[in-house]
Amino acid sequence: MAVRNIRRIGVLTSGGDCAGLNAAIRAVAHRAIQGYGWAVIGIHEGTRGLLERPLLYEELTLRIFTGNVLRMGGTILGTVNKGDPFAFRMPDGSVQDRSSDVIDGFKELDLQALIGIGGDGSMKILSRLAEQGGIQFIGIPKTIDNDVPFTDFSIGFATSVDAAVEALDRLQPTAASHQRVMILEVMGRDAGFIALHAGIAGGADVILIPEIPCRVDKVADKIKSLAADGRKHALVVCAEAVKLASGDSVMQTHVDGEVRYGGIGPRLGDQIAQATGAETRVTVLGHVQRGGSPSSGDRITASAFGVRAVDLIAEGATHRMVAWQNRNVVDVSLNDVVAGTHAVEITDPLVRTARGLGICLGD
């Protein structure tokens, strides 16, 4: 398909940050400027950059990327994971639909297309905005949780797994020295990919994921059988959204009224201590998983996604998301992405791998 009459495109990052976002922004700028001669406008703070007046943006020149941007965590554009323009909370507490302000902002910048780098929540919002505003839009999936459907990997996942594996590598010797059970709570809102991958790579004895309700008696049996075989320490990895046998997750209410996952690690630590008599210690890895320099895998995924997203715009495609499937960069329907979900399947080869290694999955 012939290159359409495009002069300027916008790029934004939306939702929680992760490692590899800057590598994707760099790839978009490189391909669009060098490959097509377009101007690239970096929109600051996700959709807020198009909502605020004056608009928040900067032109991205190749000069910006001559330094270490590829290697940097976070996002040079800034991001927000609140402020849905369709249900925007105003300073007086009222909730308003401000989607048309965002679309007006996009038009004011004289952009012909938009690339949005976001997770599943952001894809829903950006897809709606694009439809309403008739905006040519391509999505790039990112999230440490890896829960965007139709892609094997999202930007940020690999680096977060590395952070969790490093934590296990550091916990193992101290667990062994003190004969303790170490519990590592990792992120993963509703999806257990980080726990599953890190647990296998980091030699965990128990991996608990939200997709498999956790029976503490089964975890205790595993730890007791290790002890009976002479190994008096153990490593447990649990995802923050793990459900107890009752079906409940452990949540915390914060001063701003927000209810978020938090507390499953300490809860399990106490229950395991009670059920086994072992000494337990808990580490909550938290946002350490989101920061840091992107791994080579995330840099490669981000670079491939950025280039493909720009090429799709040049081809006239819209309402698509780039994706990684079977060692290939492909593009999928954004409507399918928005309607879908992605969690660990019980049939996942890595679930089988974990069981084959003798790892207890809490069931």
Q: Determine which residue in the list 6, 29, 50, 144 makes contact with ligand F6P, applying CB under 6 A.
A: 144
Catalytic residue among 17, 84, 120, 145: 145
Rounded to 10 degrees, the C-alpha dihedral 331/300/59/338 comes to 30
State the Cα–Cα distance between residues 244 and 249, nearest whole angstrom: 6
Q: Determine which residue in the list 189, 243, 299, 342 makes contact with ligand F6P, applying CB under 6 A.
A: 189
State the Cα–Cα distance between residues 296 and 227, nearest whole angstrom: 38
> Is 143 a binder of ligand F6P (CB under 6 A)?
yes
The stretch near ligand F6P (CB under 6 A) out of 20-28, 139-147, 174-182, 245-253 is 139-147
DSSP 8-class letter at 90? P
> Is 81 a binder of ligand F6P (CB under 6 A)?
yes
> Is 290 a binder of ligand F6P (CB under 6 A)?
yes
> What is the total count of residues that contact ligand F6P (CB under 6 A)?
12
Residues 6+ apart with CB under 8 A from 195: 164, 186, 188, 207, 208, 209, 237, 238, 239
Minimum Å gap between C-beta 184 and ligand F6P is 14
Q: Which of residues 250-289 bind ligand F6P (CB under 6 A)?
A: 261
Phi, psi of 6 (to 5 degrees): -110, 135
Q: Is the peptide bond before 54 cis (omega within 30 degrees of 0)?
A: yes
| Known catalytic membership, residue 97 | no
Q: Determine which residue in the list 103, 111, 187, 220 makes contact with ligand F6P, applying CB under 6 A.
A: 187
* Partners of 282 in beta bridges: 183
Minimum Å gap between C-beta 156 and ligand F6P is 8
State the Cα–Cα distance between residues 188 and 342, nearest whole angstrom: 12
**Closer CB to ligand F6P, 144 or 351, in the complex:** 144
Site residues (vs ligand F6P, CB under 6 A): 16, 81, 119, 143-145, 187-189, 240, 261, 290
Active site amino acids: 145
